Amino acid sequence: MFAPAEVERRTFELSAFGAAAAIALVSSGFALAALLVAEPRVFNLESVMWRAAAAAGIAIRSPAPVLLLALVLERIFPLISNQRSVTRGLGQDLVWYAVDYARELSWIPLLFVLLFWLKHSTLGERDLLPQGVTPAPILWGIGILAGDFLAYWSHRLRHGVTLLWNFHAVHHSQRELNFFTQNRFHDVDELIDLTIRTLPLLMLNAGWPLVGLYAAISQAHFRLYHSNIRGNYGFFRYILVTPQLHRIHHGRDARHLNRNFGVFFSFWDRAFGTQYVNHEEYPEALGIEDQEFPIEQGTRVRDFPRVFAAQMVYPFRKMLRSDG
């Protein structure tokens, strides 16, 4: 745990006025979406949505705007003031980022095709909630909440079931959280997470544009709460996962284990009793206890590919040893 002097450092949080302004901004976005649906003759809805989805795709593949914001916030509200910007953990996560890029050009599009096929093979042209009766923004909101609700329980399951934890442990192996830690996920873990979070949107016939927008917003949110930002977001900590909440989740202290499973929204933890109540606590010891996990700290840069391969193989080695 940081010393008391560190705890008194400035924290990034929104005032009640700032929170109200942000809520008003989001509400106006929903109102615009409703207007687009209600008056298709005035607005070219399909063109607007597809252009927005294209912009979202660019945002996902080019994290520069969010990275700039993260660097500014890290400068003003640093969690660890003496943490170097370039660390072994960051270097290894950049390897994972490159691998994640390859995923999105290979098996992830095929996964979405499979999910669309499953939707049409089970429901055909029918939807769980009929369009035209339920306003589109409400459909989208239900889809996003349902996806995050399932992601919360999936996250708990991946911590509670040893077989699944072996894959999810790869993400928790990072001892130096940074902007690119979000990309440190084993392919099996990524497959499970994407399927569970996306399927409700598809079952509601949300379509590709909304999926792209939701993915872009999620990626930005996930990257920020993995960054070196001392922030609990003030009022918004009751709604969104914050850097402080998620750092607790990555802590090695026994008091922090099995806490703060929220993926996008934080209120699931409060509702199901898994939230760590102290929102001013920032653990220093991160990572997993398994001494057999191949960590990058203490290795040479040229060894990063070898370490990555060992991290990918780690879950399978654990399963083989447990069977033996």
Taking residue 138's Cβ as centre, other Cβ atoms within 10 Å add up to 12
How many independent structural domains does the chain possess? 1
- Of 50, 22, 35, 45, nearest to 213 (Cα)? 50
Instruction: Please tell me the predicted confidence (pLDDT) of residue 162.
Output: 94
- Of 88, 52, 86, nearest to 211 (Cα)? 52
Instruction: Please tell me the predicted confidence (pLDDT) of residue 308.
Output: 96
The whole-angstrom separation of Cα 319 and Cα 99 is 23
Q: How many CA atoms lie within 13 A of 189 on its CB side?
A: 27
The whole-angstrom separation of Cα 89 and Cα 230 is 19
Asked, for residue 7, whether it belongs to a domain, the answer is no
Residues 6+ apart with CB under 8 A from 43: 35, 36
Helices (H) and strands (E) in the chain, counts: 13, 2
Query: Following DSSP, what letter does each residue of 138-156 receive, concatenated?
Result: HHHHHHHHHHHHHHHHHHH
Instruction: Please tell me the predicted confidence (pLDDT) of residue 22.
Output: 58
The whole-angstrom separation of Cα 39 and Cα 30 is 14
Q: Please list the residues that pair with 78 across neighbouring strands.
A: 229
CB 137 within 8 A of CB 33: yes
Instruction: Please tell me the predicted confidence (pLDDT) of residue 75.
Output: 87
Asked, for residue 306, whether it belongs to a domain, the answer is yes
Nearest 5 degrees, angle CA 259-CA 264-CA 268?
Answer: 50
Residues 6+ apart with CB under 8 A from 77: 9, 10, 11, 12, 229, 230, 231
What is the residue range of 247's domain?
12-323
Q: Residue 24 is encoded by which pair of tokens?
A: 């008003």
Instruction: Please tell me the predicted confidence (pLDDT) of residue 194.
Output: 87
Asked, for residue 6, whether it belongs to a domain, the answer is no
CB 158 within 8 A of CB 285: no
Instruction: Please tell me the predicted confidence (pLDDT) of residue 206.
Output: 65
Asked, for residue 1, whether it belongs to a domain, the answer is no
Q: Please list the residues that pair with 286 across neighbouring strands.
A: 251
Asked, for residue 4, whether it belongs to a domain, the answer is no
- List per-block mean pLDDT (blocks of 10 residues) for the chain, which spans 324 residues: 47 65 55 49 50 52 79 86 80 95 89 83 71 72 87 95 96 95 96 85 69 77 93 91 96 95 97 95 93 93 95 94 68
The whole-angstrom separation of Cα 291 and Cα 210 is 42
The whole-angstrom separation of Cα 194 and Cα 142 is 17
Taking residue 144's Cβ as centre, other Cβ atoms within 10 Å add up to 21
Instruction: Please tell me the predicted confidence (pLDDT) of residue 299.
Output: 92
CA dist 151 to 30, 262, 292, Å?
A: 23, 8, 28
